[in-house]
Chains A and B, each alone.
Chain A
């Protein structure tokens, strides 16, 4: 394998692994801010118990997000040095602003949030939580801004040595695809977190643990599914219409349209074949493909055959990733309406064990949908790294396949260990439930003092218990 393919594999692996954590921590930080705010406003202990519980989960996942994010600021140069040199005068400042406005804020106030409850007043502590939540959203702002410019570059010109330069910063930062993509990502993060919160709460309720706290958290999650999931459908649809005009090859790949025509069929299932430029095993609904993508069955939608073959993205991956994302999104909407109906016509979503099981099953789907969505965005942009301007193949560093294989193997091994451990520790917390820490409010500090876990009882260690 050559350094290009290996570098692409490494980037795909490290970025897909990384996005799990921001997607979760953007939503979780906001959830924590809401919980602490509700606690301060209402004085109800249940909110504080939930806050302490989800803070422990946050500490674990945020750490994994930070360390896998540091990789990104070096990987651009190590593996994509030509891209870095050419694009940096335009998107470099956006990435620098992410560090300056978001990373420092998050990192500094996270310490206060985790360890400062006894050191600062309640108001300051709440401020720290809000600042961390704000930082996560600001970080998303800059990174989506940079990525949106790469999806549809505007307001740039040639520099003196073959690199690009920005002509209008406002237009670069708020490039046309940015607003819907930013909202789409933030909403996705909120949904992803709600699904995890809902699943963990439903699990506790099924096991009959921490009932009071879990009921509250589950209701908050259901409220999010019912309101946010439908909004996401509309934001996503708006974004799709934009892709039709701004990135027509991506759209054709998403829908596996090969020929240009009006009344395009919508392919529910198909096996796109790039070599033969057609689909196998199609199951399609006639005419509505045009309607879904452009708003009217009479609109002519361009197929891939009308674009040069060397500008086609991989079709099957994009087509299927899109269907996974949308399919899961529709299930989330259904879960929201079902829960709302239970709350309205029954005594609450927690009364149906079937519903609780469905919530548990849907727990990880937000992550799957986020990764699938990014696959659509990034693979759909291929063969370009900057759409229409620079090909991915021309962006790679002068490094050897041996170097890239060794770093790729390093990531596979280290990320497997870290992911397994992190998932285990988070699931273990979910198994204990939020109430586990609240029963003993002030345990003797057997744990390392000064940690977020200092106030919780030790893990139930079977060897120690016997």
Chain B
């Protein structure tokens, strides 16, 4: 039996990126919501709810970068120079917010204030940068043969600004959903309010991004059966579960907020993200660099992919196993008064 290694690895990288978005998304979202906390104690509780797990969440980003380097070197070597500025904006922001977890507790008055701001600002800038990269990616990268041939600011367009705001709103929704799971009392009620605001913003932004994406590139329009005036139903109808999934997600968020549920808003947020992710992935598949380099062209040598597949087949279940175990260890509510160790 011959395995289609490039296809398997395309799937694996896609899953790694999705897991990154779903996991680091809520903890970046906590940072985005940080300035809106009413009480310093709430901020401490918000941070406590993610302190033991954020590092593991961010490791999926390292796997995304390292995996792209290892499995699709050509894509990696085109995309990184293409998104040079937002990639470094993201990294610098992640540095400031990452060290803030410890530094905020070690700082005295001014120090604590500074690291509180660094955590909030870093989370926001990291999310914006990821949104800019996403927008720039979907709109396509200028190439000359197999080299990046665009300018340093190609990624900065009206479309990418909208996707950047969309990612910020989406992460904030996940963050609010996470807080509804992990907190109780006043903070839980605040989180419920934040989730509602974010859900409305996400609904508007997701609809706008979906509409704008159809006009972005003829390849995408063709994919979704858009002919400039309406949808070709024979193409669109089989795809309609994807946007439907997004609507179901939004309904779950709304219902969860209405009934003051604890888990439903986060699950709804995840469903919305899943819908957006599949929708966009479908729009540019099979390109690893839109629009011109397919995942097959970009794939590394078969023996490299094969070796890594053996490794990941053994290690990924182990990683997922202990990740779930760690989440289980730190299950339950945090609150400013009750204490986490209790």
Contact = CB atoms under 8 A, between A and B. Distances in A.
Interface of A: 59-60, 63-64, 66-71, 73-74, 76-78, 81-82, 84-85, 88-90, 92-93, 95-101, 103-105, 107-112, 114-120, 159, 161, 163, 165-166, 169, 397-400, 402-403, 406-407, 410-411, 414-415, 417-418, 421-422, 425, 428, 445, 447-454, 459, 461, 463
Interface residues of B, number: 78
Contacts of A73: 62, 65-66, 69
Interface of B: 44-45, 47-48, 51-53, 55-56, 58-59, 61-63, 65-71, 73-74, 76-81, 84-85, 87-89, 91-92, 94-96, 98-99, 101-103, 105-109, 111, 115, 146-149, 152, 300-301, 303-304, 307-308, 311-312, 315-316, 319, 322-323, 326, 329-330, 334, 338-342
A81 B87 CA distance: 14
Contacts of B59: 99, 103-104, 107
Contacts of A165: 301, 303-304
Nearest to A103: B59
A398 B79 CA distance: 11
The binding surface of chain A is classed by DSSP as helix
A169 B307 contact: yes
Contacts of B102: 59-60, 63, 425, 452
A95 B58 contact: no
A404 B192 CA distance: 43
A96 B311 contact: yes
A289 B328 CA distance: 61
B301 A159 contact: yes
Nearest to B40: A448
B179 to A, nearest CB: 15
B323 A78 contact: no
B152 A402 contact: yes
Given A78-B87, A96-B67, A451 B62 contact: no
Nearest to A10: B88
The binding surface of chain B is classed by DSSP as helix
Contact of A85 (B44, B74, B105): B74
Given A403-B85, A421-B111, A459-B106, A445 B99 contact: no
Nearest to A411: B92
Contact of B152 (A105, A120, A399): A399
Contacts of B80: 74, 76-78, 81, 84, 397
B146 to A, nearest CB: 8
30 contacts: A59-B102, A63-B98, A67-B98, A68-B95, A70-B61, A70-B91, A77-B68, A78-B80, A81-B77, A81-B81, A85-B73, A88-B77, A89-B304, A96-B66, A96-B308, A100-B315, A104-B319, A104-B323, A111-B51, A111-B52, A115-B340, A119-B330, A163-B73, A169-B303, A397-B84, A410-B89, A414-B95, A428-B106, A450-B48, A452-B102
Contacts of B303: 165-166, 169
Contacts of A398: 81, 147-149
A399 to B, nearest CB: 5
Given A76-B69, A112-B329, A403 B152 contact: yes
Contacts of B66: 73, 95-96, 98-99
B312 A104 contact: no
Nearest to A428: B106
Contact of B322 (A92, A96, A108): A108
Nearest to B149: A398
Given A100-B315, A111-B330, A398-B147, A453 B152 contact: no
A411 B74 CA distance: 26
Contacts of A71: 91, 95
Contact of A448 (B44, B88, B103, B316): B44
Nearest to A78: B80
Nearest to A110: B55
A77 B58 contact: no
A214 B326 CA distance: 33
A454 B105 CA distance: 9
A74 B87 contact: yes
B300 A89 contact: yes
Nearest to B61: A70
B339 A450 contact: yes
Contacts of A115: 51-52, 330, 340
Contacts of A68: 95
Contacts of A105: 319, 322
B287 to A, nearest CB: 17
Nearest to A406: B85
Contacts of A95: 66, 69-70
A450 B315 contact: no
Contacts of B341: 117-119, 449-450, 454
A449 B44 CA distance: 8
